[in-house]
């Protein structure tokens, strides 16, 4: 089941999962011009616009009004993907980096939370696993007087990466936060807020962050120190991410959800069957050793 699950994720980010869909829709895709590159161009435009809006807000809060557009030169262009050694993508796809897709990328709060209220809900490190964020796995953070915790607030649609963990296989895994209410995150989790643009499908991005070349890049940069395994945010930001056309992202997300749901059901059924088999085995052994399995001579 695990091998099948991994093969589904790999097929999703290499284009194999939707090869038939691209063949059936090639003419329509060419006519619409809806390529991954066109989507990436819109993402980069909106990324810069989001930065400018945030900068103007900061200046206004300080009581400053720009006299000209010179302040816009402070914008830091995102890192572009290093495509040397990367496999060729299907027609209409393009390589991007996590840095190109983000408007915010930061660590959380470092002060230790408490186990029970009062306080603001804050995720445990264990809340983030591959393709999942458990919004119920929380502790509570009590802010100091006048402490602003808004920059560590996770909103629905944000992604979280595990920055440190005792198990290296958990480091750098990512999940989409689907919780109904915002929640804080600790320092050992990195929040990745994507550019909010139509066409960047969160469910596809979640799959891409945990699969293929993106996951390979992140895994290769995990460092170990004093029994703890971790990764720097800068190494995650430059990870390559495949960007398919909008329509194909939706198809991939739907197919992956359906296929992984089947895996979950099969795994659950197999686990139940295994428990029944173990119970039957124990019952047979108990019957045998108590002399009840065969008729005894009198």
pLDDT at 296: 62
Residue 273 located in a structural domain: no
pLDDT at 285: 63
Domain that holds residue 113: 2-268
Q: What is the pLDDT of residues 70-126, one digit of tens each?
A: 999 999 999 999 999 999 999 999 999 999 999 999 999 999 999 999 999 999 999
pLDDT at 269: 47
Torsion sign (Cα): 53, 58, 64, 67: negative
Residue 182 located in a structural domain: yes
CATH of the domain at 159: 3.90.220.20
Q: Does the pLDDT of residue 203 top 80, yes or no?
A: yes
Q: For the chain, give the longest Cα–Cα distance.
A: 108
Could you give the CA distance from residue 251 to residue 176 in angstroms, rounded to a whole number? 18
Average pLDDT, the chain: 91
pLDDT at 26: 86
- Give the confidence band of 226 by pLDDT, cuts at 50, 70, 90: confident
- 180 to 120, 137, 206, 241, 259: CA distances (angstroms): 15, 14, 18, 27, 25
- Give the confidence band of 11 by pLDDT, cuts at 50, 70, 90: very high
Is residue 171 within 8 Å of 165, Cβ to Cβ? yes
Q: What is the pLDDT of residues 254-297, one digit of tens each?
A: 999 999 998 765 656 455 556 666 666 766 666 666 666 666 66
pLDDT at 210: 97
Mean pLDDT of 24-38: 85
Residue 39 located in a structural domain: yes
Could you give the CA distance from residue 202 to residue 283 in angstroms, rounded to a whole number? 49
Residue 282 located in a structural domain: no
Residue 56 located in a structural domain: yes
Number of domains in the chain: 1
Residue 225 located in a structural domain: yes
Q: What is the pTM of this model?
A: 0.87
Residue 288 located in a structural domain: no
Is residue 119 within 8 Å of 109, Cβ to Cβ? no
Mean pLDDT of 27-43: 88
Is residue 177 within 8 Å of 133, Cβ to Cβ? yes
If you count DSSP H runs as helices and E runs as strands, how many of each does the chain have, helices first?
9, 15
Residue 167 located in a structural domain: yes
pLDDT at 1: 84
């Amino acid at each position: 089941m695990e091998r099948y699950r991994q093969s589904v994720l790999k097929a999703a980010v290499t284009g194999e999962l939707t090869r038939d869909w691209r063949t059936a829709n090639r003419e329509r895709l060419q006519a619409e011009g809806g390529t991954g590159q066109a989507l990436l161009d819109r993402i980069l435009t909106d990324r810069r616009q989001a930065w400018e809006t945030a900068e103007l807000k900061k200046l206004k809060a300080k009581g400053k009004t720009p006299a000209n557009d010179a302040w816009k030169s402070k914008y830091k262009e995102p890192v572009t993907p290093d495509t040397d050694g990367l496999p060729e993508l299907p027609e209409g796809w393009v390589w991007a980096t996590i840095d190109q897709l983000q408007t915010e990328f930061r660590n959380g709060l470092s002060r230790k939370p408490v186990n029970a209220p009062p306080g603001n809900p804050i995720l445990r490190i264990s809340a983030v696993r591959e393709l999942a964020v458990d919004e119920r796995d929380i502790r509570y953070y009590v802010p100091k007087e006048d402490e602003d915790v808004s920059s560590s607030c996770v909103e629905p649609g944000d992604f979280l990466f595990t920055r440190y963990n005792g198990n290296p296989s958990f480091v750098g895994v990512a999940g989409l936060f689907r919780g109904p209410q915002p929640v804080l995150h600790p320092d050992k989790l990195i929040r990745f807020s994507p550019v909010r643009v139509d066409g960047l499908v969160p469910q596809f991005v979640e799959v891409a962050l945990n699969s293929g070349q993106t996951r390979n890049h992140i895994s290769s940069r995990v460092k170990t120190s004093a029994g703890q395994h971790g990764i720097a945010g800068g190494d995650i930001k430059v990870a390559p991410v495949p960007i398919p056309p909008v329509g194909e992202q939706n198809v991939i997300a739907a197919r992956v959800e359906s296929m992984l749901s089947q895996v979950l059901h099969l795994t659950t059924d197999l686990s139940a069957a295994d428990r029944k088999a173990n119970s039957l085995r124990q019952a047979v052994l108990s019957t045998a050793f108590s002399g009840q399995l065969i008729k005894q001579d009198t």
